[in-house]
Amino acid sequence: MGNARRPFLAGNWKMFKTISEALQMAAKLKPAVMTVKDADIALCATFTLLKPLADSLKDSNIMVGAQDVYWEEKGAFTGEVAPGQLLDAGCACVVIGHSERRQFFGETDETVNKKTKAALKAGLLPIVAVGELLAQREAGTTMQVVGTQLAGGLAGLSAADAAKITIAYEPVWAIGTGKTASPAQAQEVHAFIRGELRKMFGGTAEQMRIQYGGSVKPDNVDELMRQPDIDGALVGGAALEAESFARIVKFARG
C-alpha cells in the first residue's frame, strides 16, 4: 500500500448470477475474507440480488452495493430504483456512471451528477466511474476526457460530500478485455485525478479513494496496489468467483 488511505476493493457482478448463485458465493467469500480488517470490501449486484445478498452478509465485513440508482426519491418513474429503496434493501454503496451505462444506456456527466447527489443525500456511498475509450487514449485526450467527466459528475458538491465519494478509474479498453493498464499508466491517470480533486475539494482530495478497474486479477492486483494513488479496485470478471476475489482483497500489503 503506497498511502494511508483505507483500501476499498469492490466487485462488480454486472448482469450475472441468480439469487442462489449469489448466496453460494457469499457463503464462500465470507469466511475467506473474515480476517481482513484493514480494507473495505463490497459486492455490487443487480437489483434482484440486493436484499437476499445483504441479508446473507449482515454479520460480515462485506458491504453490498447496487450498480445504478435513480435521482428522485419516489414517483412515477417506471423501472427506476430510488436511493432510499437501495438503503432499504441493505445497500451501503452504489456504482454510478459505469462505462457500460455511459455507452449503452445514455448515462451522461449530468445524470451522474444528479445520481451522485441523490445517493449522498440518502446516505449511500457513491463509487463514481470515469475512464477513456481506446480511441481517446490513442488520440492523446485521456486526461481531458477524464477531467471533463470529473468536473461534470462532481459539480456542485461540497468537500464534506466529496470525502464520502470513491472514484473508479476504468479505462474502457481495459474492461473485460484482459488488457490491464500497466501500473505506471494507471498511476499516471490516478495522479491526474487526485490533482483535479484537489482543485475541486482542496485537502479533502487526500482522503478520497481512487479505485482502478479494468481486468484486475489475482496476478496483477499486487503491483497495481503498490502505486501511490491507487487505493483499491473495481473488479468485474475476477469478482465472480470467491477464490479470486478473496485473493484480490488480500493483495500483498507493504
The site for ligand PGA (CB under 6 A) is made up of: 12, 170, 175-176, 213-216, 234-238
Closest CA to 176 of 232, 100, 106, 241: 100
Nearest CB to ligand PGA, comparing residues 100 and 229: 100
Active site residue 190: no
- Can 98 be counted among the known catalytic residues? yes
Q: How far is the CB of 27 from ligand PGA (least distance, A)?
A: 22
43, 91 contact by CB (below 8 A): no
Q: Which residue is nearest to ligand PGA (CB)?
A: 236
Q: Which is nearer to ligand PGA, 1 or 172 (CB)?
A: 172
Q: Which is nearer to ligand PGA, 67 or 201 (CB)?
A: 67
Supply the minimum distance, in Å, between the C-beta of residue 202 and ligand PGA: 29
Residue 1's closest CA among 244, 249, 246, 231?
231
Asked whether the beta carbons of 161 and 222 are under 8 A apart, the reply is no
DSSP per-residue string spanning 43-110: EE--HHHHHHHHHHTTTSSEEEEES---SSSSSS-TT---HHHHHHTT--EEEES-HHHHHHS---HH
Residue with cell 457482478: 13
Angle among Cα 71, 76, 82 to the nearest 5 degrees reads: 30
Query: Which residue in the list 100, 132, 170, 196 is annotated as catalytic?
Result: 170
Calpha distance 254→153 (Å, rounded): 33
**Nearer Cβ to ligand PGA, position 82 or 247?**
247
Shortest separation between residue 217's beta carbon and ligand PGA, angstroms: 8
Look at residue 33 and give its three-state secondary structure.
helix
Cα–Cα distance for residue pair 64/82, rounded to 1 Å: 16
Question: Residue 98: left (phi > 0), alpha (psi -120 to 50), or beta?
Answer: beta
Shortest distance (Å) from residue 236 CB to ligand PGA: 2
Nearer to ligand PGA, 176 or 228 (CB): 176
Length, in residues, of the chain = 254
Q: How far is the CB of 156 from ligand PGA (least distance, A)?
A: 26
Residues 98, 132, 190, 196: which is the catalytic one? 98
> Which residues are identified as catalytic?
98, 170
